[in-house]
Structure 1
């Protein structure tokens, strides 16, 4: 099995093909690095959708739903990083080879039929979001036919179950985030029970359970798992029970109106300039500002999980959060500048990694 790290690899497919009895320490470290990259890969497309919602619609149910999902994904990434460091690994994200590439597949070859892109909130992007989160056996719509993210996490859990001795509790970064949902705190993982609880949160917040579409760790009562939340917005209707025996769900509930949005276009591979569109000095400055903050964010995150002292890790994580807060303004400014191709679409952030200036 190849171990070279690259975002554009089939590492997850290769890992899932390894016999269960060979899921050793190296397998687990490789799997958790891929899981870290996978969690990071969901954030840029979801953030583009969130930021494309006009300020006049910030009180809408759609804005609230996507906002909470973004915070769920952030906590998932933190928990995965703690899983890697508790067995002596080091999460890596601040590297051009490892950051997400858009448009393109998810890392590791998971869901190979799916192309993930950076664009504004539309029916098409909502369908993309829900396909990212799709469970093996959803309570509505078709069953999954490829390896899902949930199946990958199940394999990781079983590897932990068989190698509980690897769990040392080293370099655990913590942050209170339960205001965004029950179970959203990034907590230290010092036992198998801690790891099992964390993976349960990651899987069920995204996929729900085989029996219910509800998020068992909600930010508010009745909140659905990510897949079903995105499908509700896509269909424009609430998911309700339409039959009790047998129990059946369908999107036949109250209407969910789409919010007003900025018409952000789809970022070309390699960025706007690589896509052949002229980039003005104003746009270039905003893109550079955004990419610099994004890159600093990734560096601070990586450094936080390398810190030996909890206080140092906390300070580095706070710096990462500070960089995160700097992203929205240039992103939304870009979304108000029309593309020069007459499409009626606008620019948007590229989420490109750039090395620190020396």
Structure 2
């Protein structure tokens, strides 16, 4: 079984340092567990920003919501890539669950500190840095490893070991109404594995030729990095010249929507951050969100553990339901002022708690 390491380790950097002839079955299982952790880690910060927006039908809210659905699909695909080679995603585990504020798992983009807050310019800048396209120099002296380079290495390991693909314990959820690449489908062949990896990379980064998402929900939809940079700059990304193409944030203005002023969750949660203790109603809502989030992770884990399709679908549906249960109490928390006079509010902590 693949080694389970701490969320806050540098395991991805270590895996990338392995020679190609060392990237065997156990390497691939270990790498894909890290990929599952990486995909999960983006959801809480993106969701906090989305849920803080007061007009949930605004263009900005809809743009972030599309990214969130893509990331959910990526989590499903990463899990299927792991189970098709005989591994098992570990999600409901205090060692592997995301920690905020903190780094991305595995040593990816070590310069970043991922935090939970409402929608701000700072959060948009963070999100774009998470999704930043691969650089020609993928591993720098400081141990900087890009997400794109990591998935490219996973793809190459699959091409070297296609015999590892068994098609076991494959989750299926049709989500093409959110985008043509958003179906979570069974991975039973090398072509299926390569397609899944391509979707994860290209929806986040675009391609070398274009900033557009090649697996869009609607025409002209941009890859995640460019979506977040547009929102950060407050301008649409447009092509300003051709041959060679040049793209600039020089198009129509994008208004920053009104958002609830959720503060940055401190390490260990609100009660560990040096603030006065929250009142009982606030505490109950914080506990409720953490419990529902933890149950969601447990149901997802059970879905991949199931051997019968009906059991898998039942657990997956339960996980989706728990996700929906997070929305209202999270938004209610964002309406409750912090007791420090800052004008900021509480918000969900997304802390994993054992049953």
Same fold (TM over 0.5): yes
Superposition misfits of 4+ residues, deviation over 2 angstroms: 142-146
Of 140, 145, 148, the match for 1:147: 145
Q: Say whether the 8 Å CA contact 1:337–1:346 is kept in structure 2.
A: yes
Q: Say whether the 8 Å CA contact 1:296–1:323 is kept in structure 2.
A: yes
Counterparts of 2:198 and 2:95, CA distance in 1: 30
Question: RMSD of aligned C-alpha atoms?
Answer: 1.5
2:322 corresponds to: 323
Question: Paired residues, what number?
Answer: 350
2:241 aligned counterpart, secondary structure: strand
Q: Say whether the 8 Å CA contact 1:136–1:144 is kept in structure 2.
A: no
Counterparts of 2:134 and 2:205, CA distance in 1: 9
1:163 corresponds to: 161
1:281 corresponds to: 280
1:74 corresponds to: 72
1:119 corresponds to: 117
1:51 corresponds to: 51
Q: Say whether the 8 Å CA contact 1:106–1:115 is kept in structure 2.
A: yes
1:9 corresponds to: 9
Q: Say whether the 8 Å CA contact 1:134–1:144 is kept in structure 2.
A: no
1:89 corresponds to: 87
Query: Is residue 229 of structure 2 the alignment partner of residue 231 of structure 1?
Result: yes
Change (3 A) 1:112 1:200: same
Counterparts of 1:60 and 1:22, CA distance in 2: 49
Counterparts of 1:108 and 1:18, CA distance in 2: 14
Counterparts of 1:243 and 1:84, CA distance in 2: 42
Q: Say whether the 8 Å CA contact 2:240–2:247 is kept in structure 1.
A: yes
1:21 corresponds to: 21
1:188 corresponds to: 186
Change (3 A) 1:119 1:229: same
* 1:213-228 correspondence to structure 2 within 5 Å: 213-228=211-226
1:241 aligned counterpart, secondary structure: strand
Question: What's the TM-score once normalised by structure 1's chain length?
Answer: 0.96
Gaps of 5+ in 1: none
* 1:286-305 correspondence to structure 2 within 5 Å: 286-305=285-304
Q: Say whether the 8 Å CA contact 2:138–2:149 is kept in structure 1.
A: no
Counterparts of 1:220 and 1:183, CA distance in 2: 11
Q: Say whether the 8 Å CA contact 1:126–1:231 is kept in structure 2.
A: yes
Q: Say whether the 8 Å CA contact 1:137–1:143 is kept in structure 2.
A: yes
1:182 aligned counterpart, secondary structure: coil
Counterparts of 2:189 and 2:3, CA distance in 1: 27
